[in-house]
Amino acid sequence: MEILDILFTASFWAAAIRIASPLIFATLGELVCERAGVLNLGIEGIMVVGAFAGWMAVYSGMGLWSGVCIAMLAGMLFGFVHSVLTVPFGLSQHVVGLGITLLATSSTYYAYRVALPEVTRPPKIEAFQSFEIPVLSDIPLLGPALFSQTPFTYLAFAMVLLVSLVLYRTPLGLAIRAAGENPAAVEAQGLSVNAIRMGAVTFGSGLMAMGGAFLTMSAFDSFFFEMVNGRGWICIALVVFGSWRPGKALLGAVLFAAFDALQIRVQQTSFGSEIPYQVFLMMPYILSILALIVMSRRAEVPAALMVPFNKGER
């Protein structure tokens, strides 16, 4: 009964939306990459870079939105390196992705120590504050959950709509999807498969970095190295859960976030006092794995995902 009471509170769903926001950015970024035929396992490290770059920019005196842009550019830089190695050079996407994660994480650690050598506790910044949308925020249950968030969260949902429109309503989106399904057909139309894939990976990596920046600039107000905490790997699973579609991926992110928010609250109930807390920490991942198994059975993987393309070959 206590669990049902939790599920029907505005604060629970507001927390779920807040937890889902960085996942939405990163999942969209991975989705764009994979739609173009490239698996980007550098997502975890790119999120760390985005978290640090955005936070450091604001700490140095720049505005919050400038920090978001800096984070995106930092992610795009690592995404460009990833795309150069995997697309024209055709290196293993698994190896390069893991290498990018290690490079990005270690580079962030080095930059942090160089910029703040004497700091023992991460300095705080003035993060994004909640903004209530008039009238809509007064809707019972739904209003406080959806319309009393930070502007960064609103941007996450706007990006779902934008990515959907681009992928399914524009020639560019058609070219991206074709590059991941039938790159030979793209070449036959006189388009560059390599350019499309490199652009998709670069832009997608920028979105991943924005997901990391959300953690330091909206969810928290400081930076620490463990804050990404495996979210990048979860986002790769969410792409599969969403069948490579932005709308379904959004639902997957909110579902995982709801599981996470629920386990925190259940620990504080009488039911939670009788069970080791480690069980509740595992709960979001176990439930997400079960949901992934169910959804992935019907998922259609892009036909050319992880398949290198060499111009002129059939």
* Contact present, 36 and 183 (Cβ < 8 Å): no
Record the pTM: 0.93
Q: Measured in whole angstroms, how far is the alpha carbon of residue 275 from the centre of its chain?
A: 32
Tokens of 52: 């640090």
List, for residues 186-237, the tens digit of each pLDDT value: 999 999 999 999 999 999 999 999 999 999 999 998 998 889 988 999 999 8
> pLDDT tens-digit profile of 131-147?
888 888 888 878 888 89
* Structure confidence by residue, pLDDT tens digits, 22-58: 999 999 999 999 999 999 999 999 999 999 999 999 9
The pLDDT value recorded for residue 313 is 58
134 φ/ψ angles, rounded to the nearest 5 degrees = -55, 145
Q: What is the pLDDT confidence band of residue 1, given thresholds at 50, 70 and 90?
A: very low
- Tell which residue, 32, 44, 30, has the closest CA to residue 100: 44
Full DSSP string of the chain: -HHHHHHT-HHHHHHHHHHHHHHHHHHHHHHHHHHTT---TTHHHHHHHHHHHHHHHHHTT--HHHHHHHHHHHHHHHHHHHHHHHTTS---HHHHHHHHHHHHHHHHHHHHHHHSTT-SSPPP-------PPTTGGGSTTHHHHHSSS-HHHHHHHHHHHHHHHHHHHSHHHHHHHHHHH-HHHHHHTT--HHHHHHHHHHHHHHHHHHHHHHIIIII-SS--TTSSTTHHHHHHHHHHHTTT-HHHHHHHHHHHHHHHHHHHHHTTSTTGGGS-HHHHHHHHHHHHHHHHHHHHTT----TTTT----TT--
d(CA 146, CA 140): 11
Percent of the chain with pLDDT over 90: 63
74-88, 98-112, 128-142: least confident range = 128-142
Q: How far apart are CA 48 and CA 60, in angstroms?
A: 18
User: pLDDT tens-digit profile of 280-308?
Assistant: 677 777 777 777 777 766 778 899 999 99
Query: Which residues, in sequence order, are CB contacts of 53 under 8 Å at separation 6+?
Result: 67, 70, 71, 73, 74, 75, 209, 213
Residue 25 phi/psi, 5-degree rounding, is -60, -50
Q: Is the dihedral of CA 189, 191, 194, 199 positive or negative?
A: negative
